[in-house]
Structure 1
Amino acid sequence: MSTTTQARPLFAAKLTPHNSLTGNGQRIVIAVMVVMASVPGMVFFSMGAWPIVGFMGLDILAVWWALSAARRNGRAFEEVTLWRHQLDILKVDGKGQRRSFSFNPLAVRLVIDRDINERTRALHLRGADQTLEIGAFLAENEKSSFAKAFGTALRQARR
Structure 2
Amino acid sequence: MPMQATTTAPLFSAELRPNRSMSAGAMWILAGLTALLFAAPSLLFLSMGAFPVTVLMGLTGVAIVAGLYPGLRQGKRRERITVWSDQVEFQVTDSAGATTLRRFNPVMVRLVLTRDEHEKTTAIHLREGTDRLEVGSFLTSEDKSSFAKALGTALRQARN
Relative to structure 1, is the Cα distance of residues 22 and 91 closer, same or farther in structure 2, using a 3 angstrom cutoff?
A: closer
**Partners of 1:105 and 1:158 within 8 A in 2:** yes
**Bigger shift: residues 35-44 or 59-68:** 35-44
The DSSP-based 3-state class of the residue aligned with 1:105 is coil
TM-score (norm 2): 0.81
| Distance change (3 Å), C-alpha of 1:99 and 1:113 | same
Deviation at 1:118, TM superposition (A): 2.8
**Matched residue of 1:117: which SS?**
coil
Structure 2 residue matching 1:111: 3-state secondary structure: strand
User: 1:70 and 1:20, CA in 2 relative to 1: closer, same or farther beyond 3 A?
Assistant: closer
Q: 1:35 to 1:150 in 2, by over 3 A?
A: same
Q: Name the TM-score, length of structure 1 as normaliser.
A: 0.81
> What residue number does 1:146 align with?
147
Mapped contact 1:19–1:71 kept (Cα < 8 A): no
**1-side partners of 2:24 and 2:67: how far apart?**
13
- CA pair 105-125 structure 1, distance change in 2 beyond 3 A: same
SS at match of 1:154: helix
CA distance in 2, matches of 1:153, 1:50: 64
| In structure 1, distance between residues paired with 2:125 and 2:117 | 18
Q: Which residue of 2 aligns with 1:10?
A: 11
Q: What's the Cα RMSD here?
A: 2.3
Aligned to 2:103: 102
Task: Report if aligned partners of 2:82, 2:88 keep a CA contact under 8 Å in 1.
Answer: yes
In structure 1, runs of 5+ residues without a counterpart are: none
- 11 and 118 in structure 1: CA distance in 2 versus 1, 3 angstrom threshold: same
Instruction: Determine if contact 2:21/2:71 at 8 Å carries over to the other structure.
Output: no
Structure 2 gap ranges (5+): 1-5
- 1:77 corresponds in structure 2 to 78
